[in-house]
Amino acid sequence: MLQSSSIVLDEYRVSSSHGFLPTELPLRRLPHVYYEQWENLAGQLSTLIQQDKIRDLIDALPVLTTTWLQTEPEWRRAYSILGFLTHAYIWGGQKPRDVLPPSISKPFLEISAHLGLPPCATYAGLTLWNFDAAPGADITDPDSLSTITSFTGTQDEAWFMLISVAIEAKGGKLITLMLDAIEAATQHNISQLTALLCRFTDVLQDVTATLKRMYEKNAPQVFFHQLRPFLAGSKNMAVAGLPNGVFYDIGNGNGEWRQYSGGSNAQSSLIQTFDIFLGVTHPATGDKEKETDQKALKSKGPGYIEQMRDYMPAPHKRFLEVLTDISNIRDYVVSLGSDSPAKEAFNAAVQSLTKFREAHIQIVTRYVITQSRISAASQPAERLNLATASVKSTENSDGSSGSDEDDSGVLHGTGGTSLASFLKQTRDSTKSAAC
Output the known binding site for heme b: 360
Distance CA 415, CA 187 (A): 40
Question: Which residues participate in the annotated binding site?
Answer: 360
Encode 16-38: b = buried (16+ Cβ within 10 Å), e = exposed. eebbbbbeebbbeebeeeebebb
Question: Alpha helices of 3-65 — where are they, by DSSP H?
Answer: 36-43, 45-50, 54-59
Distance CA 7, CA 14 (A): 11
Angle subtended at Cα 255 by Cα 69 and Cα 95, rounded to the nearest 5 degrees = 95
Which residues, 6+ apart, have CB-to-CB distance to 169 below 8 Å?
A: 18, 19, 21, 139, 140
CA dihedral (170, 230, 115, 255) in degrees, to 10, reads 170
Look up residue 143 and give its DSSP letter.
G
DSSP state of 374: S
Cite the beta strand spans of 177-289 per DSSP E. Answer: 246-251, 254-258
CB 425 within 8 A of CB 242: no
Q: Which one, of 321, 309, 317, 310, lies nearest residue 2 by Cα?
A: 321
Alpha carbon distance 139, 150 (integer Å): 19
How many Å apart are CA 413 and CA 419, to the nearest integer?
A: 5
Residue type, 229: P
DSSP state of 128: I
Contact 164, 259 (CB under 8 A): no
Sign of CA dihedral 279, 200, 405, 383: negative
